[in-house]
Chain A
Amino acid sequence: MTLPILPTSVVGSYSMPGWLERLKTEYFARRISRHDLEEIHDNAVKAAIKDQEAAGVDVITDGEMRRDNMMDYFLERLAGVQIDRSSKKFYYDFYNSSVEGKLPMVPLGLATDFRFLKSFTEREAKFCVTGPHALTKRIHNEFYPSEEALATDLARALNLELKELVKAGARIIQIDEPYYSGFPDDLDWAVKVLNTLVEGVDAKMVVHICYGNRYGKPSWEGSYRYLFPRILDAKVHQLTLEFARRGGEDLDLFREFKPPFELGVGVIDVKTQAVETPDMVADRVRKALEFVPAERVTVLPDCGCFHLPRDIAFAKLSAMVEGTRLVRKELGC
């Protein structure tokens, strides 16, 4: 599928409905079955697909409706990771997890979920995977000599999964690494691990780095300057960053360091329910184009829309699409 110039996309999650939150929690309280929950998830994914299509987004996801949070979907599927299933009170809580031995190198079985997404949309589809650095921060390491060693084996296991996703038809895969911003001193080894993860994966690789969105709040503050120049070694095709909430000051880093990858520019603030106008979006896109040529820019929200009410999320995505169209028109596209 040919994408327009300045393609629009989402970072991963779509609005998590309150009713689905309750049902997920009901499942943990053993009041509904796994079978019923999966059927509910299927329907929620279809609704999320439809909303993204209706809003006019070019590259869509499954809304991550099956995920309780950005960690557990992966941790409970990673062979060798021990999960304490009693540690979760509310579905959004993180499981307590640990690694007590070397991780077996087996894929996670996520391709089924990607195939489900593809079977219900004609749009370009993206699959998002939490990166090994972030996963490492949530696992109690009782075996590996260092975080880097654990992250490297996580990357090797996830690499097998990425290849399975490509076999299932995935052409764009996003790696989420928000914990870089909280642990900037890790970046030397984190970039090496990232490269292990993407090695030999025949897809467009995107890495998303934000300042956290847990409970709809930033987890850290600061400047993206910490990424540079080390991030330039990352063997990815696109770097997706948040600029709507934080302002566009860090865009200058793209002029200063001239990174080899494309820029995914966050133009929608997902931490407020105030809906941007198309003009505001257009201004933010124009600002990004001062630093990166249009053919190397993708337009997205700052992060996932998980914590936004559905009507707000839909309105924000619609404004994002409309604002991007304004700029395309100015570019004669």
Chain B
Amino acid sequence: MILQMNHLPRKTSAASAEDVVATLQSLLEEGHLEPEQFANLYVHLDWIQYRHNFREAVTVVPIADEKTGRIPLFEVHVDLRQAAPSCLRTEMLKAMTPANPGFGQHPAENDEGMPLEEFGPFRRSIVWRFNHLYWQRLAEWEGSTGHGYEEALPGGRSDANHPQAVADGVADFWTLARDLEIKKQLPPELFVLEIGVGMGTRAGLWLDRFQKLDRERGTNYYARVRFLLGDYSPATLERSKAAVAGHREQCSFVVMDALNPMQTLSFLRHKVLHIHMTNVYDNLPDEELARRDGRLFLVEARAYLPAAEAERIATEFEVPGRDLRRCIERLLDEGPGHFGDRARGVEFWRQVWAAMRLKERMVCVDDLPAEALPGELNLNRLEEALREAPSDLRFHVNSGAMESFRNTLPLLSTRGYLQVQDIFVTRWSEYRLRYHGPGKLDGSVVNWVNGALLRETAERTGFDVHFAPFRYREGSHTSILFTTQRE
């Protein structure tokens, strides 16, 4: 058995690693686990920092692998923050039963819940439709909760808008413009792009600061600035206009998909001097891979509502149990208005989202059709990248972030740079230090971003990637990614 303590021990835990091992040992002795299963067991102990997430206290992840023997194999994932020692045994038996039909547990303990989809790559999960709904109907959600989405962020505000961080960013950009001018390479228009502008606060701060600096230094660069505010939500873009009202001549508002900025802005290929994104990558479709004993597995996911929660929601909203899934589909297709009473529709949405959990299973990538894997995932290159990684590892592929990254870099001019503020795993070995998502942040999904893989991708397209800690907020997990041209 391999015990992976995927958290820092000083965290307050309900249960301890000793409790988990002792419980598993007793299950083995009582015959609930085969010796071969026990010997191959991979136990993952997390401390999930997101109060709202997709996990039960104990989760069992079956391993679908044609090359393994007759005994079903699985992994056990325990959230030590939730799992109380007194319930550990019950929770484990409950979680293991579906993966190990031989147990013959009481039906009530065999809780498959109400599936909302079939198993598949997480990037295709219904979870992302909820995420999309949230951003498209943000005002309705905020109206219902009574707080803005930034208040749900750690620190209660977006790291994008930290005045000193913005000022430092502006100073960097001014220095670049100055250097270009000295080399007689200053273009007539200085294109700056922010993708995912939120309320437009950062864009406003940036332009205020740049205008001031430009005036102080008498360089007349401000007039050349063409600031593009990009977001995939027209409503969000509309709201952002107020924040940059003093800079209308400089600003353009572009509805765009962060996954493919080139699609919208191909006319700016090799022309943009600076691109900024904050907390965009952590909210793009993702999936995870796990390497076990030298083989790669795709972690497939299926969203479900626990049976008791499904029943409770159906009763509260007077939806026949058999119609609940259809009602959720209508919510995603039409929005909360389909309830007639919009406020009640939002409440339904919030409760379904809060109750939603993810089941997982692992499928060996060798047994999967090519379309199950992210289109751009190059397994040969991944294997090369993983040479520097620990041997047993579960990690993000961040297909959405990778797609966005690849489709953003071609916009950069020769001296241009991309700056991304987000929660990055900058070294492979960090995957063993803590839980890295997914979690829920209000009505959206939050996931850490595999910076080590981004670095590898960038190197092959002519950029070096560097990470610096976000030093402007104490205790922040944010890092700043920035690119330089690779020789």
Contacts from A to B (Cβ < 8 Å): 22, 25, 89-90, 94, 212, 214-222, 271-272
Contact = CB atoms under 8 A, between A and B. Distances in A.
Interface stretch (B88-96, B106-114, B454-462): B454-462
A90 B459 contact: yes
Given A215-B486, A271-B270, A220 B462 contact: no
B270 A217 contact: yes
Contacts of B187: 221
A272 B380 CA distance: 25
Nearest to A211: B414
A215 B462 contact: yes
Interface in B160-219: 184-185, 187
A218 B270 contact: yes
Given A94-B487, A221-B185, A222-B185, A216 B462 contact: yes
Interface in B266-299: 269-270
Given A22-B380, A214-B462, A215-B461, A221 B413 contact: yes
B414 A218 contact: yes
A219 B416 CA distance: 11
Contacts of A216: 462
Contact of A217 (B380, B414, B460): B414
Given A214-B487, A217-B270, A271-B270, 9 more contacts: A25-B384, A89-B459, A214-B462, A215-B461, A215-B462, A217-B410, A220-B414, A222-B184, A222-B185
29 contacts: A22-B380, A25-B384, A89-B459, A90-B459, A90-B460, A94-B487, A212-B414, A214-B486, A214-B487, A215-B462, A215-B486, A216-B462, A217-B270, A217-B410, A217-B462, A217-B485, A218-B270, A218-B414, A219-B414, A219-B485, A220-B185, A220-B414, A221-B185, A221-B187, A221-B414, A222-B184, A222-B185, A271-B270, A272-B269
Contacts of A220: 185, 414
A22 B301 CA distance: 32
Nearest to B413: A221
A89 B270 CA distance: 27
A282 to B, nearest CB: 24
Interface in B352-403: 380, 384
Interface string B458-473: 0111100000000000
| Interface hub of A25, A94, A215, A218 (most chain B Cβ within 10 A) | A215
Chain A, interface SS category: loop
Q: Which 9 A-B pairs have the closest CB atoms?
A: A215-B462, A218-B414, A217-B462, A221-B414, A220-B414, A22-B380, A215-B461, A221-B185, A218-B270
A22 B413 CA distance: 28
Interface residues of B, number: 17
Interface of B: 184-185, 187, 269-270, 380, 384, 410, 413-414, 459-462, 485-487
Nearest to B187: A221
Nearest to B463: A215
A71 to B, nearest CB: 10
A21 to B, nearest CB: 9
| Interface hub of B185, B269, B414 (most chain A Cβ within 10 A) | B414
A72 B453 CA distance: 27
A218 B384 CA distance: 28
Nearest to B410: A217
A22 B380 CA distance: 8
A183 to B, nearest CB: 11
Nearest to B378: A18
Nearest to B269: A272
Contacts of A22: 380
A220 B185 CA distance: 9
Contacts of A90: 459-460
B289 to A, nearest CB: 20
Contacts of A217: 270, 410, 414, 462, 485
Contacts of B486: 214-215
Contacts of A222: 184-185
| Interface hub of A22, A89, A217 (most chain B Cβ within 10 A) | A217
A149 to B, nearest CB: 23
Contacts of B384: 25
B273 to A, nearest CB: 11
A89 B486 CA distance: 13
B17 to A, nearest CB: 38
A100 B364 CA distance: 52
Contacts of B270: 217-218, 271
Nearest to B462: A215
A220 B187 CA distance: 12
A303 B106 CA distance: 71
Contacts of A219: 414, 485
Nearest to A92: B460
A274 B44 CA distance: 48
Contacts of B380: 22
A271 B414 CA distance: 13
A218 B414 CA distance: 6
A147 B153 CA distance: 54
B386 to A, nearest CB: 14
A222 B180 CA distance: 11
Nearest to A138: B487
B464 to A, nearest CB: 11
Contacts of B413: 221
A106 to B, nearest CB: 28
A219 B461 CA distance: 13
A285 to B, nearest CB: 24
Nearest to B180: A221
Contacts of A214: 462, 486-487
Nearest to A272: B269
A219 B185 CA distance: 12
A155 B185 CA distance: 30
A219 B414 CA distance: 6
A25 B185 CA distance: 36
Contacts of A94: 487
Contacts of B459: 89-90
Contacts of B410: 217
A212 B462 CA distance: 12
Contacts of A221: 185, 187, 413-414
Contacts of B485: 217, 219
A221 B485 CA distance: 14
Contacts of A272: 269
Nearest to A223: B184
A94 B459 CA distance: 12
A212 B486 CA distance: 13
Nearest to B380: A22
A139 B462 CA distance: 20
Contacts of A89: 459
A223 B84 CA distance: 70
A212 B184 CA distance: 18
